[in-house]
Amino acid sequence: MKYIIILTTCFLSTGILFGQSLVKIGDKAAKFYFDKVVNSPESNLDISDLKGKPTVLAFWGTWCAPCIPEMINLAKLQRKYGDKIQVIGVSNDSEQKLKNFLSKRPSKIWFASDPSNNLWNIFDIQTAGYAVLIDKNNKVAAITETEKIDSTVINKLMSSNLTNLSENRGTKRLADNQEPVKLDSNTLYSFVLQPELKGITPMMKRPSIGPFAGRRITIINLVPTVILSEAFSISSDKRIVYASKDDSILSNQTPVCIDFIVSENDKSNLNKLFKNEVNRRLPVKGIIEEKIISCLVLRPIKGQQVVVEKSSSTENSFPLTD
């Protein structure tokens, strides 16, 4: 059995290896078959069937808040250019979730469900918010941030003259079988704190299967305020108050990595122990407090009737076709 507590200020010695890009700029677009395409004439689609029409594969997700305005912009471009181009939003959301999204935000964009991230892996797209641009000859013309795509980019894509966009596939993701800290399954207790891993996508995971199921929390490249919010189950930024401006800056800068493991017997106390550890180890601390705040009480004026208008329901949405 092992009992380990590690507090380190250096980078991990364990190597993290990533696969090489499978498709490069200038290559023919990979032949890929979607069987769950929403909002298109056909629910099945092979990318190679779109030869002759410039195509934008935008990798996104309904869970990605910054992606929504990007998809609104792409929808405007789809509407502007009509059938001269085709924008396809590639998401790892389920088909039903995409349908629910479209029911509230109608769009001319086709949405394809890729729950296993197969196409993401083929193009080596690491995270949402990036796009692959394919010209009319079915060649990959660019791989870049979705937010960079505008009318100028589309015009150059249509003329196969897209050479000014720098290649960017996003920061690297840790694969499911990659661990930031290598520990055997007999480890009873471990707390590892280390600096940011440059070039790795921020993430947090709690294994649900395997030897560490229910007893491990792994955090990659998150700032203290996010980590403490998780530890104290704070769901809204409005419930966070900083003691000073310096604390606010410190809490939102300098991402760190944490790996925390407890024994099988302590699984039920995982969250409590995690809160105690991060509160001791991080440069800022979290405290739960109840505060009395001022409020106004409305009272009826004696002799005057109070008339309350009936409430009406409203619904706000972000139509992607506008």
Amino acid, res. 176: D
Last residue in a domain, options 158, 192, 213 = 158
The string of pLDDT tens digits covering residues 5-41 is 434 333 332 223 333 446 778 888 877 888 788 888 8
Is 41 a member of any domain? yes
Distance of CA 171 to the CA centre of its chain: 12
In a domain, 4, yes or no: no
The answer to whether residue 113 sits within a structural domain is yes
In a domain, 294, yes or no: no
In whole angstroms, what is the distance from residue 279 CA to residue 196 CA? 18
Looking at the fold, whether 51 and 154 belong to one and the same domain comes out as yes
Q: Tell me the pLDDT tens digit for each residue of 90-148.
A: 998 888 888 888 888 888 899 998 888 888 888 888 788 889 999 988 888 898 899 99
- CA-to-CA distance for 194 and 179, rounded, in angstroms? 14
Is residue 234 within 8 A of residue 156, CB to CB? The reply is no
Widest CA span in the chain: 81
- Pick the residue with more confidence: 244 or 57? 57
The answer to whether 77 touches 85, Cβ cutoff 8 Å, is yes
What pTM does this model have?
0.56
Range of the domain at 83: 33-158
